[in-house]
Each structure stands twice: as C-alpha cells, then as structure tokens.
Amino acid sequence: MNICKDRAFEVLKRLSFSRIAGTPGELEAAELLKAECEKAGVPAVIEAFEIDMPEIHEAKLTVTKPEVCEIRCIGIGKSGNTPDEGVTGPLLYIEDGLEANLIDAKGKILLLTGMAKPEVLERMRKSGALGYIACHGSIYDPEEMIPEIRTRNERRKPGEDANFPGVVIHMTDAAKLLNMGVEEITLVVKQDCDKKGTSHNVVATIEGTEKPEEIIAFSAHFDSVIYGTGAWDNGTGSITIMEIMHHFIKNPPKRTLKFVWCGSEEIGLCGSKAYCEDHKDEMDKHLFNINVDMTGVLIGYETAVCSCDEVVAKHIDFMGKVEGFPITTKVDMYPSDSSSFARVGVPAMTFARLAPKGGAEIHSRRDIFEVLDATAFIKTVEFMVKFSEQVVNARVCPVPRELPKELKEKIEKTAKMMGLDKKDEKKEEKADEKKAENK
Ligand SMILES: [Zn+2]
C-alpha cells in the first residue's frame, strides 16, 4: 500500500488552523489541499458555491427583574430581528421544547437547553413566544471556555421568513438564570439575515483505467468551527482521503475516482450539497460515496454508517473480523456529507473513528492535534484502502443502487422537515441563469 502516516500527519499539522465556512481561512485550506494534489500529480479544481452568512449586528440579553444583569450571548443567524429596544417578557424554561413544555409560552422568552431541532423550532415559533435562548457547552467547562460560544445559523425552509429572534448562551449561564429565579428578561437581536458568502470544495480526479465512466467518490469536509483548529474534525478525514488518493496514484484504479474535500459541512452539509447539485448530470455515474468524518484519535473506536443497502454494512462487519479490525456497522443516515449523496440517490457511507466520552472532544478549543495518534490513524486508512480497492476494482459493482425502503423514508422525512422537498425557486432561477451564461 502506498500510504504514509508521517506524510499524512505533516499535512495535518499544516492544516490545523481555523477554517470556518466562508472565511479566508477556509479558502487557504482549500488552496493547501489543491496544492497537495497537484504536488502528487493529480489535477484538482476549486469549486466555489454560495452560502448563507448572516451578519449579526447586535445581540444582547439583559435580566431586568429581580435584579439587573447582563448575560453573555451571541445572536443566532437567520433567526430574526427584535425591535431596536428589544423584546421584554418573563423567562420560561422549556427544557427539550416538548409540547407540554410550551404550555403558556405566549408573550414569554424561552430558554431551551435541548437541541434546537427543526420540529422544536417550529413548535417554539407557533407558541406565541417572543424569542428564545439556546445553550452551548457544559456546566463543567472551565471559566475560560464560557465566552467561547459557538456561532450557529438556523436552517430555514426556502421562502420561509418567520421572525423568531434567538441567541445562544453558555450552559453555565443557563444554570445561573434558573438559579436566579429570573422574572423578566430583555432580548435584543439585530442582524442582516440575507447576507451571503462564498465557500469552496476541492475536487481531484483520477481517471479509471477500465471503466472510466463509473465514478467512486471519496469525500471529507475540511472546514472547522470557531475556537478550534479542527485537527480531528475533520483535518483527519481530509488527510485520510488524501492518503487513499496516494495509494491509487501508485495502483491505478479501474473506475474513476473523485476526491471531494467539502467546505461548509459544519453549517449544514453545504459543500456536499453544492457538489451534488453542480454535478447533477454526473450523479447517475456516481456508484458509491465513501465519506470520512474523523479518524486518528488516540482514544477511540471505529464505526461505519452505511446509507445504502445492508449488504455493505454486513460486508464491512465480515471484513473487520477477517482483518482483525474492530468496527461496528449499521444502516442509517449520518450527520455528515454522505447524507447529501444519499439524498440524491447515490449509495453512500461514512467511516469514523469516534471517541468515548472524555476521550476527545470536537467543536471546541479541545479539538487539537495533541489528542491524535498516527498509529491509530494509519490502521483505519489501511482498512479503508482494502475495502475501497474491492469496490473500486470490482468486476461488477457490488453496491446495489437501490437504497433500502426505511432509509428512503427517513430521507424523505428529514427533507420534508427541512423544507428540502419544496423547490427553492430563487436558487433554480439562478442555476438556470448560470447555465444560460455558460452556453
Ligand atoms: Zn465533522
């Protein structure tokens, strides 16, 4: 196998800087990856796409009764705007935002400590509440991590313009609000919800020797989130597919291989969605997507989530036993770029080396190079190369095209919840314009 842990970790070290969606850092990382491909003799292109980059002008949370104090917060992108003076009302703690949590929510400001899932957001909006406070972090975080609240944007269905302003606070401050017995609170959010930015994918191609018209696409997102260097999530995935690429440079594949480093995964799988849209006409040639989201962590365990026929999950389980590579497998959707491929009907899967609680952390300053281990990393790459070779060079593609019924239903359900089943007319118009320009 032509894989090398030292080469990979040297690239990883250089890649371990802030690569937030739509920022110059993300573009710099794209250029680094492209340069690495070209150095290895594989042509690569950077493909730009538009993303939502709402601009927060002001976010303020002030307790007004029983005493006056300010709570550190950041505005939630695309949530909405308050009047200049803000909205003022009683605080209602709604835990996970179930229906029973939302009785008497009208005219109040909601404190949500659970996940802001689309169905929870919808319930909150319909409740007649004035706005909401979401939470981030852990009450066990040290003092210096409390100001490091991760930015987030709401995902709106196309054409939906409900105004329901929200902010994020640290979990420690959520506990503080509850212990204080807050009676009244004022929320101010001012933002430009419609501001757009540009993000980038890097796409490298190795032409197949026997079946060049059939494509196997490897993917890994290379963007990171605020306050971390994203060494593990997903610098490691980025160098994993880079090593797989090195292997296939020396061992020419029968089918064509695409290596897709996706931007803006962290803000809603935007890079992979853009790739699938921009390469729409080629999607039926894409036989399989092998995605990698996090490998190489010292304390960890291997897993493969297959968004495709169960034969793949069973085969990986079988192979793991043959090779002495412990790995759990299942058929499901995974919150990473493989989902974008599955959504357009391309069988997909994600490999990940995850960590038990306390082993390593993502999405904070704790995601660092030092929790990683080159030996654990290379074991995963070795297994992935063996598995990939079978698919890439198979006489007949062993991955069934048809996705299992339950999986399709799950995809449809999420799409409906996110409004992805409705056509985004503005976007379609733009795409048509672009096509016309190219002609
Ligand atoms: Zn990730």
pLDDT tens by residue, 37-80: 999 999 999 999 999 999 999 999 999 999 999 999 999 999 99
pLDDT digits (tens, 9 = 90+) for 170-200: 999 999 999 999 999 999 999 999 999 999 9
- Looking at residue 411, what is its pLDDT? 87
Tell me how far the alpha carbon of residue 158 lies from the centroid of ligand 1, in angstroms: 25
Whole-angstrom distance, CA of residue 226 vs CA of residue 345? 32
Predicted confidence band at 432 (pLDDT cuts at 50, 70, 90)? low
Alpha carbons within 13 A on the beta-carbon side of 47: 21
Q: Which range, of 133-137, 160-164, 219-223, averages the lowest pLDDT?
A: 160-164
Predicted confidence band at 437 (pLDDT cuts at 50, 70, 90)? low
- Regarding pTM above 0.75, the answer is yes
Tell me how far the alpha carbon of residue 351 lies from the centroid of ligand 1, in angstroms: 11
- Looking at residue 412, what is its pLDDT? 86
Look at residues 339, 312, 313 and name the one whose alpha carbon lies nearest to residue 418: 339
* 17 pLDDT more than 60: yes
Predicted confidence band at 239 (pLDDT cuts at 50, 70, 90)? very high
pLDDT > 90: what percent of the chain?
Answer: 82
- Looking at residue 418, what is its pLDDT? 64
User: What crossing angle do the helices spanning 237-250 and 5-15 adopt, rounded to 10°?
Assistant: 140
- Looking at residue 434, what is its pLDDT? 52
Radius of gyration of the chain (CA): 23
Tell me how far the alpha carbon of residue 179 lies from the centroid of ligand 1, in angstroms: 35
The whole-number average pLDDT for the span 370-389 is 97
Whole-angstrom distance, CA of residue 64 vs CA of residue 74? 19
> What are the extents of the domains in the chain?
5-53+197-403, 55-192
Tell me how far the alpha carbon of residue 28 lies from the centroid of ligand 1, in angstroms: 18
Tell me how far the alpha carbon of residue 218 lies from the centroid of ligand 1, in angstroms: 15
What's the topology of domain 55-192?
Glucose Oxidase; domain 1 (3.50.30)
Backbone angles phi, psi at 156, to 5 degrees: -100, 145
- Looking at residue 421, what is its pLDDT? 55
* 373 pLDDT more than 70: yes
Tell me how far the alpha carbon of residue 113 lies from the centroid of ligand 1, in angstroms: 22
Tell me how far the alpha carbon of residue 265 lies from the centroid of ligand 1, in angstroms: 7
Tell me how far the alpha carbon of residue 388 lies from the centroid of ligand 1, in angstroms: 21
* 161 pLDDT more than 90: no
Tell me how far the alpha carbon of residue 290 lies from the centroid of ligand 1, in angstroms: 14
The 10 Å Cβ neighbour count of residue 10 is 12
Tell me how far the alpha carbon of residue 109 lies from the centroid of ligand 1, in angstroms: 32
In one letter, which amino acid is 373? D
The whole-number average pLDDT for the span 85-104 is 96
* 23 pLDDT more than 70: yes
Pair of tokens at residue 339 = 């989902």
- Looking at residue 185, what is its pLDDT? 97
Positive or negative CA dihedral for 282, 283, 287, 293?
A: positive
Tell me how far the alpha carbon of residue 321 lies from the centroid of ligand 1, in angstroms: 27
Tell me how far the alpha carbon of residue 309 lies from the centroid of ligand 1, in angstroms: 23
Whole-angstrom distance, CA of residue 119 vs CA of residue 299? 35
Tell me the three state secondary structure of residue 371. helix
The whole-number average pLDDT for the span 393-415 is 92
Predicted confidence band at 271 (pLDDT cuts at 50, 70, 90)? very high
Pair of tokens at residue 368 = 């660092």
Tell me how far the alpha carbon of residue 336 lies from the centroid of ligand 1, in angstroms: 7
The whole-number average pLDDT for the span 226-252 is 96
In a 10 Å sphere around its CB, with 0-12 CB exposed, 13-18 middle and 19+ buried, how is residue 396 labelled? exposed
Tell me how far the alpha carbon of residue 163 lies from the centroid of ligand 1, in angstroms: 30
Tell me how far the alpha carbon of residue 208 lies from the centroid of ligand 1, in angstroms: 29
Predicted confidence band at 219 (pLDDT cuts at 50, 70, 90)? very high
The whole-number average pLDDT for the span 278-284 is 96
Q: In what order do the strands lie in the sheet with 301-307?
A: 44-52, 196-206, 255-262, 211-221, 286-292, 348-354, 301-307, 327-331
* 417 pLDDT more than 90: no
Q: What CATH number was assigned to the domain covering residues 5-53+197-403? A: 3.40.630.10
- Mark out the alpha helices in 64-153 (DSSP H runs): 118-126
Backbone angles phi, psi at 385, to 5 degrees: -65, -45
Tell me how far the alpha carbon of residue 19 lies from the centroid of ligand 1, in angstroms: 12
If one compares 154 and 45, the residue with the highest pLDDT of the two is: 45
pLDDT digits (tens, 9 = 90+) for 308-322: 999 999 999 999 999
- Looking at residue 425, what is its pLDDT? 47
- Looking at residue 406, what is its pLDDT? 94
Tell me how far the alpha carbon of residue 54 lies from the centroid of ligand 1, in angstroms: 22
Predicted confidence band at 382 (pLDDT cuts at 50, 70, 90)? very high
312 touches 399 (CB < 8 A): yes
Tell me how far the alpha carbon of residue 171 lies from the centroid of ligand 1, in angstroms: 22
Supply the DSSP string of 353-365, one letter for each residue.
Answer: EE--TTT---SST
Tell me how far the alpha carbon of residue 435 lies from the centroid of ligand 1, in angstroms: 32
Tell me how far the alpha carbon of residue 328 lies from the centroid of ligand 1, in angstroms: 19
Average pLDDT, the chain: 92
Tell me how far the alpha carbon of residue 294 lies from the centroid of ligand 1, in angstroms: 6
Tell me how far the alpha carbon of residue 124 lies from the centroid of ligand 1, in angstroms: 28
